Structure formats: structure tokens, C-alpha cells
Amino acid sequence: MRALIQRVTHASVEVEGRCIGRIGPGLLILVCAMRGDDDAAAAKLAARVAKLRIFRDEADKMNLSVLDIAGGALVVSQFTLAADTRTGNRPGFSAAAAPDDGLRLYEAFADALREQGVPVETGEFGADMKVSLLNDGPVTIWMDSADRA
């Protein structure tokens, strides 16, 4: 699985003009299930994200996790993180998981993050969403469950 993680002051997601998820300080996590991913990949990535120390401590160092600051997470599905831009001008998305698998793994990731103790709000899988955020720092981190044994 792939995730683009942004440290935010606040974030929200709307579908058809209706706010369906909102958080204060915490993480906006754009997540994409890739072909071959499984529930173990979702759980592994969620554990890494929950422990990622990217929030400032009292010495202004990035030393605290979202758990340490009692922050929340807004998890939004984004299959375009699977984009292959190596050739041509139009990205290909064949590396993304099939929609049924993508939905299951997106939900598994959100559930695994909750199990880590992080309050989670979500977008709506497959919907045309409008995401608003105030990136804090800015801090933006790319993670892939395949990058680590």
C-alpha cells in the first residue's frame, strides 16, 4: 500500500457539498492499495503511520507521533497514487488494486489505524471528493508498505 501523509492543523473532506469527515490537528492520509497488497500490508502501514514522529515536541524537534499529540487522522482513498508516469503524457493506473480489493484494503487500513488508538475519519471510496487542509510545516511524507521488510 502507498500513503501520502500530511501533517495538518485541520482537514476535511466533502462529497456533493456535504462534509463527511473532519479532523483538527493530526494527519491527512491519502492511501492507495496496490495490486498484490493484502490485509497484512494494510496493518503494517497503519502501524508505521501511527508511530511516525513528525509532530513538534517542546524543543521544536519532530519527535512526537499522532498518538503522542492525541491527534486524529483523515483517511482518503486515492488510486492515483499508483500512477505510472514513465512513458507518455497520460498516467497509467494498472498497478492499483482492483476496486473491490481497493475498498477492502482501504477499510482495513482505516480499521488498523483505529486499532493503533488513532481517531479516524474517512472519505468515501470511489466518490468525487473535495479535500481541504492546512498543511502544517509543510510536512509531507511518502510511505509504501513494500519499502520495508
- Judge whether 6 counts as a catalytic residue: no
* Catalytic residue chosen out of the listed positions 6, 55, 79, 116: 79
- Say if residues 33 and 45 touch (Cβ distance below 8 Å): no
Q: Which helix (H) or strand (E) holds 24?
A: none
* Catalytic residue chosen out of the listed positions 6, 78, 116, 122: 78
What does the DSSP assignment read for 60-123? S-EEE-TTTTT-EEEEEE-GGGG-B-SSSSS-B-TTBPPHHHHHHHHHHHHHHHHHTT--EEE-
* Catalytic residue chosen out of the listed positions 6, 9, 55, 80: 80
Helix (H, G, I), strand (E, B) or coil at 45: helix
Bridge partners for 26 per DSSP: 8, 72
Other beta carbons less than 10 A from residue 77's beta carbon: 24
Active site residues: 78-80
